[in-house]
Structure 1
Amino acid sequence: MALHVPPTPVNTSKAASSKVDYIVVQKQARLLSLWKDGRVLRTYSVMAMGENPVGHKVYEGDERTPEGQYYIDEKHVSQNFQKFLGISYPNQQDSLLAKRFGVSPGGQVGIHGDRGGMSGFFQRYDRNWTDGCLAIRNKDIEEVYSLVEVGTPILIKP
Structure 2
Amino acid sequence: MKLVGLLVAIALVVLGGLMLRDRDFLPVLAPSRAPLDGEIERIVVEKSARRLTVFREGEAVRRHRIALGFAPEGDKAREGDGKTPEGLFRIDRRNPGSAFHLSLGIDYPRPEDVARARAGGYSPGGDIFIHGQPNRLKGIVTIPYDWTAGCIAVSDATMEELWRIAPTGTLVEIRP
Q: Report the TM-score range of the alignment, normalised by the length of the smaller protein.
A: 0.7 to 0.9
Kindly indicate which of the two structures has a greater share of residues assigned to strand: 1
The answer to whether the 8 A contact 2:37-2:164 is kept is no
Give the corresponding residue for 2:49: 29
Mapped to 2, the partners of 1:130 and 1:16 lie a distance apart of 26
Q: Is 1:155 aligned to 2:173, yes or no?
A: yes
**TM-score, L = length of structure 1:** 0.84
Decide which structure has the larger Cα Rg and report it. 2
1:1-158, aligned counterparts within 5 Å?
Answer: 4=22, 6=24, 16-46=36-66, 48-115=67-134, 116=137, 117=139, 120=142, 122-123=143-144, 127-158=145-176
The answer to whether the 8 A contact 1:85-1:111 is kept is yes
**Closer/same/farther in 2, CA of residues 55 and 99 from structure 1, 3 Å limit:** same
Mapped to 2, the partners of 1:118 and 1:133 lie a distance apart of 20
Cα deviation code 1:117-143 (max 9, x no counterpart):
5863x42xxx32110000000011000
SS for the counterpart of 1:82 is: coil
**TM-score, L = length of structure 2:** 0.76
**Closer/same/farther in 2, CA of residues 87 and 64 from structure 1, 3 Å limit:** same
Mapped to 2, the partners of 1:32 and 1:81 lie a distance apart of 17
Mapped to 2, the partners of 1:62 and 1:155 lie a distance apart of 20
1:147 maps to a residue whose letter is: I
Mapped to 2, the partners of 1:5 and 1:100 lie a distance apart of 45
Mapped to 2, the partners of 1:60 and 1:34 lie a distance apart of 28
Kindly indicate which of the two structures has a greater share of residues assigned to helix: 2
Query: Aligned-pair distance for 1:78?
Result: 3.0
SS for the counterpart of 1:86 is: strand
RMSD: 2.3
Query: Aligned-pair distance for 1:101?
Result: 1.6
Q: Structure 1: state its 5+ residue gaps.
A: none
Aligned length: 149
**Closer/same/farther in 2, CA of residues 77 and 42 from structure 1, 3 Å limit:** same
Of 99-108 and 65-74, more deviation after overlay is shown by 99-108
The answer to whether the 8 A contact 1:5-1:44 is kept is no
